[in-house]
């Protein structure tokens, strides 16, 4: 598998930095996991948006799905033949409210209500705990601790495993998600501190502790909020985990 970081700024885009989005490729197939603010531009520099096999959304906070509106415009109105959205809709695996929430984000006014039905562009497939197959990928969705319906993803291809936490606070499910992963892509929004809001985000230290407890082989820290020092957060993670540790960088590609 090949992982490309489309964006990794936590909670909101930062100066010159897109929010969360990740491109995963293998055997000519491709998945995009999350499509936050600014990530569609990065995607178009790496992969034809019409050639995606699926889009997965870990949850419906804007920094993980805001560019779905832009993708809707591109797929609905682009004149490129022979693409016909009535024939080929993009499978969109997302939490249960995705069709309504993304439709409202796209066209919220009363005059545009007919535009809020996005089923001409997407084949909505609600997420639930469990495993599904998407092309050559085995994708296991694991519910995680966040203020809304949220999932982490465990993506397997030819015996290799990429585990992505999505947005989450510490919870027992993360051990299952990250167990023996070849690469753990773990959110670490902030430096460790004693008064963290529960069920919201991980600190750098907690991301490192998760990698160590789960037996992950490599740790890639992502989703650091732009108002914190990403090197400090990644340093916390490295101090808690003896394996190779780095912070995600937009535009970088990682072999798994």
The pairing of strands 245-247 and 137-143 is unpaired
Q: What percent of the chain has pLDDT over 90?
A: 88
Domain residue spans in the chain?
A: 2-255
55 φ, ψ (degrees, to nearest 5): -120, 130
Helix (H, G, I), strand (E, B) or coil at 80: coil
3-state SS, one letter per residue, for 171-202 = CCHHHHHHCCCCEEEEECCECCCCCCCCCCCC
- Decide the pairing of beta strands 183-187 and 160-164: parallel
- Predicted TM-score of the model (pTM): 0.95
CATH superfamily of 2-255: Ribonuclease Z/Hydroxyacylglutathione hydrolase-like (3.60.15.10)
pLDDT tens digits, 174-224: 999 999 999 999 999 999 998 889 999 999 999 999 999 999 999 999 999
For 11-69, what is each residue's pLDDT tens digit? 999 999 999 999 999 999 999 999 999 999 999 999 999 999 999 999 999 999 999 99
pLDDT, tens only, 215-255: 999 999 999 999 999 999 999 999 999 999 999 999 999 99
The two three-digit tokens of residue 154, written as one number: 């465990």
C-alpha span between 107 and 86 (Å, rounded): 20
Separation CA 240–CA 93 (nearest Å) = 33
DSSP characters over 126-160: E--SEEEEETTEEEEEEE-BSSSS-EEEEEEETTE
């Amino acid at each position: 598998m090949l992982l490309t970081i489309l964006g990794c700024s936590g909670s909101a885009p930062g100066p010159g930095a897109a929010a969360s989005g990740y491109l995963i490729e293998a055997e000519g197939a491709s998945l995009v996991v999350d499509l936050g603010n600014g990530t569609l531009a990065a995607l178009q520099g790496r992969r034809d948006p019409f050639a995606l096999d699926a889009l997965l959304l870990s949850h419906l906070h804007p920094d993980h799905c805001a560019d779905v509106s832009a993708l809707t415009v591109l797929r609905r109105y682009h004149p490129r033949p022979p693409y016909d959205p009535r024939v080929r809709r993009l499978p969109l695996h997302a939490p249960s409210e995705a069709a309504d929430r993304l439709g409202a984000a796209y066209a919220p006014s009363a005059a545009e209500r007919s535009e809020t039905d996005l089923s001409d562009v997407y084949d909505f497939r609600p997420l639930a705990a469990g495993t599904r197959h998407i092309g050559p990928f085995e994708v296991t969705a694991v519910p995680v601790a966040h203020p809304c319906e949220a999932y982490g993803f465990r993506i397997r291809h030819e015996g290799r495993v990429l585990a992505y936490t999505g947005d989450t606070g510490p919870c027992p499910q993360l051990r299952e998600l990250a167990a023996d992963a070849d690469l753990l892509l773990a959110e670490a929004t902030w430096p460790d501190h004693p008064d963290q809001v529960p069920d919201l985000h991980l600190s750098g230290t907690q991301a490192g502790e998760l990698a160590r407890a789960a037996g992950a082989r490599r740790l890639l820290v992502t989703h650091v909020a732009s108002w914190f020092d990403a090197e400090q957060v990644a340093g916390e993670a490295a101090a808690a985990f003896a394996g190779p540790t780095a912070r995600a960088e937009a535009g970088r590609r990682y072999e798994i």
